[in-house]
Amino acid sequence: MKRAFKPLEYVKCYEGYRGAEKPLEFKYNGKEFLVSKILSTWVEEDLKRFFKVEDSSKNVFLLCYDEKKGKWSIVD
């Protein structure tokens, strides 16, 4: 199954020694979401880092940070 990557309007993240280490909040379709919990993380080919996150309303999202492009997206 092919994934759909949709760009996020912005992402505020914790910046550690690796740069954008973990998302703290993000904006998608004009709505802001506060990340309350990171459920899991993993890295796939082409230096894409994935974050399965839960927001303050218990909604679950899959976010991706493409290290090569320096861009965040939400995955459907």
pTM: 0.90
Our measurement of the distance from residue 8's CA atom to the centroid of its chain's CA atoms, rounded to an integer in Å, reads 9
The pLDDT tens digits of the residues spanning 39-69 come to: 999 999 888 999 999 999 999 999 999 989 9
Q: Output the CA torsion sign for 40, 43, 45, 46.
A: positive
Domain range annotation of the chain: 5-75
The pLDDT tens digits of the residues spanning 19-32 come to: 667 999 999 999 99
CB 72 within 8 A of CB 19: no
The whole-number pLDDT of residue 42 equals 94
The whole-number pLDDT of residue 53 equals 98
Question: Of 59, 22, 26, nearest to 38 (Cα)?
Answer: 22
Bigger pLDDT: 1 or 54?
A: 54
